[in-house]
A and B are shown apart, each in its own frame.
Chain A
Amino acid sequence: MKHYVVRPRSTMGWILTLMFVALIALGLWPVIGWFNQPRLWLGLPWIAVWTYLIVLGCWLAMLIANRWLKVSSHDD
């Protein structure tokens, strides 16, 4: 058989993959360094706020991905 590395096969697939990768990058260095300030926002430390924005982002990304999967399965 011809061997291969699995990768997205549609534009939407690429967008979702990049969205997942971007979300992961947002929690790591160097991005986390930009929020490494002893300041508060909404009464919470910047890193805590950023953490929960990432949590929100993960939830939204998967919601979008589910919706796309539903649409693409209807298209099939």
Chain B
Amino acid sequence: MTTSLLPLWITLGYIAMALFIGLRARGGRVMDSLEEWGVAGRSMGPVTLYLLIAAGSISAYTFMGAPGWAYSKGVAVFYVVIYLSYLALVAWYCGPRVWAFGHRFGHVTQGAAIADRYQSPLLGGLAALVMSIGSLAYAVLQTIGSAYILSVMSGGRIPVWGGVVVILGVIAIYLYVSGQRAIGLTNAFQGILMLVVAWTVGLWAAHQATGDVGFAGVFERLATERPAFLTLPGGDGKMSFAFWTTSIIVSMLSFMPPVWSQWMSARSAETIRRSATWLPTYYIVVLPMVVVGFIGITALPHLGRADTVALEYALQHLPSWLVGLLGAGTLAAAMSSCEPFLHSVSMAYAKDIAQPLFRLSDATTARLARRLLVPVMALIVAPVAISEPSNLIMILLVGLGFATQVLPAFIGMFLWTRASRWGVLAGIVGGFSVTLTFTLIWPNPLGIHAGFWGLMINLPLFVVVSCLTPPVRDDVVERFFAISAPGFSKASSAMSSTTSATRSATTSSKPPSRR
């Protein structure tokens, strides 16, 4: 623990700045609709969107977990950079389509899009509910990370419960006031801060450790002394080629709800394409922090917890101001990932579950979504974060495993017209059961990611059951595929009956009522 108060002041300064930016983001707008509070009036430009998605995807994992992986496993950590880049390809393809669904059909949540495509509020609500498990686990993990940082930066003066209250309190205030606009602007600020902090800390630490400018000296030493860290399966022998490959596939196919909201917040489809195109460039932020983990292999050989390697190294070897900057950067990473999840869970509970269940008006639903922030934080996230459960990672893994199992719902939106609601449901239930079994009972059999095993059951079930059950109404499918595959839609309309073609043209030119 540090004894200087400088790191704490720098970290608190960052929190005050984030609060200021989050409150200013509202800019005098009235936040009484989900269009405004939920998706920022679909107004975000390419630079804000780029930083919003980039910072949202770089969690506390990059500043704590990734150096920890480098420290315990070695180059296996780079799988994260690869799947993040593939997520950009997914965003480039799917993002503009999701934006067009939202713009034309009025969706503001992922669950609303699923309910509309499959004409099943039950499926939309179910997807929203189960997605929220992974989202809440993720938010709790980021909150614990934030509270831990505050505790370290204050030299133990701020206890974990105090940190949880401060962080969630700040996020609650600016999220309630400015909604998605607060997430956009604070993520932009946090994104820039993380990039600057990561490279400053990485280069400084490398220079401190080797006397060189650059990272070559760090890896030259490892190549001589610990070459196992430069190859798979890594220093601990656990990252096989099978696990590397299936982890990347499973991670790139997880369509988490906040990402959906981020796509729908864009000004246009073109804005998403431009942001997605440049997104991979941001992931150079991971390299310097990973290097700190590699330095730790020789500098801190007896560390108890691998994910504290960057902070421990900073506390022992870097000047106070840089420790403070690292604290602010790590906190920025944690908060920028936590807030979109809290926001999307509140929206999903209000829009996808409460509204169809209690037949609420749009205005009441919007008010409810904002107000739900407080109970979600106070009754779920804060108590769980303060209790620091040992099995939270397990909950998170199961939650993320489920996120991948919703894949059939998206295949039916973007790629296959015949997908039916029963096919999607069968795929999700089958895939989730397998993922659950292969996470809790028999973890990752044959070194293959549990979520991948789930997909191997999920996708065949989805196809077979879809073919055996009635498809969704033609007009709905044509409405969606007029956006997903416009050329195909024309071709299919030409091939199908005149009635169907006429209906397609009518529905695609005239938006149905807002959902």
Residues on A facing B (Cβ under 8 Å):
1-6, 9, 20, 23-24, 27-30, 32-33, 36-40, 42-48, 51-52, 54-56, 58-59, 61-63, 65-66, 69
Write the chain A residue with the least CB distance to B228: A38
Q: Nearest residue in B to A33 (C-beta to C-beta)?
A: B241
Please give me the residue from chain B that is nearest to A28 by CB atom. B245
Q: Which chain B residues lie closer than 8 Å to A30 at the CB level?
A: 241
7 contacts across the A-B interface (CB closer than 8 A) = A2-B495, A4-B417, A5-B417, A6-B481, A36-B241, A58-B280, A62-B88
Select one of B92, B252, B287, B477 contacting A1, CB under 8 A: B477
**A45-B230 contact, Cβ under 8 Å, with A9-B487, A40-B220, A59-B280:** yes
In this complex, how many residues of chain B approach chain A with their Cβ under 8 Å: the count is 59
- Residues of B contacting A23 in the complex (Cβ-Cβ under 8 angstroms): 86, 89
Chain A residues contacting B283 (CB-CB under 8 Å) are: 55
Contacts of B496 in A (CB 8 A): 1-2
Surface stretch bound by A, among B151-159, B270-278, B337-345: B270-278
Interface 1/0 per residue, B187-208 and A, CB below 8 Å: 0000000000000000000000
B463 nearest CB across to chain A (Å): 11
B277, B284, B414: which contacts A6 (Cβ < 8 A)? B414
Q: Are B245 and A29 in contact (CB under 8 A)?
A: yes
Once the chains bind, are B231 and A37 in contact (CB under 8 Å)?
yes
- CB atoms of B495 and A40 under 8 A apart: no
- Neighbouring B residues of A37 by C-beta, 8 Å: 230-231
Which B residues touch A51, using CB under 8 A?
78, 81-82
Stretch of B7-15, B211-219, B316-324 that contacts chain A: B211-219
Cα separation A27 to B273 with both chains bound (whole Å): 22
B219, A58: Cβ atoms closer than 8 Å: no
User: Which residue of chain A lies nearest to B218 when distances are taken between CB atoms in the complex?
Assistant: A43
**A51-B78, A69-B273 given as contacts; is B278 within 8 A of A59 (CB)?**
yes
Closest to B500 in A: A1
Q: CA separation between A6 and B417, bound complex, in Å?
A: 8
CB distance from A26 to the nearest CB of B (A): 9
B492, A28: Cβ atoms under 8 Å? no
Cα distance, A56 to B242, chains bound together (Å): 24
Judging by beta carbons under 8 Å apart, are B245 and A47 in contact? no
Chain A residue numbers with a CB within 8 Å of B416 are 3-6
B216 touches A40 (CB 8 A): yes
Please determine whether A63 and B277 come into contact, CB atoms closer than 8 angstroms: yes
Within 8 A of A (CB), among B471-487: 471, 474, 477-478, 481, 484-485, 487
Q: Which of A28, A36, A62 has the most CB of B within 10 A?
A: A62
The 8 tightest CB contacts between A and B, nearest first, are A43-B216, A38-B227, A62-B277, A3-B418, A29-B241, A27-B82, A6-B485, A51-B78
Residue of A nearest to B474 (CB): A1
**Cβ of B142 under 8 Å from chain A:** no
Q: Chain A residue with minimal CB distance to B414? A: A6
Chain A residues with Cβ below 8 Å from B81 are: 51-52, 55
Asked if A38 contacts B471 (CB within 8 A), the reply is no
Which residues of B are found within 8 Å of A66, using beta-carbon distances? 273-274, 277
User: Are A55 and B280 in contact (CB-based, < 8 A)?
Assistant: yes
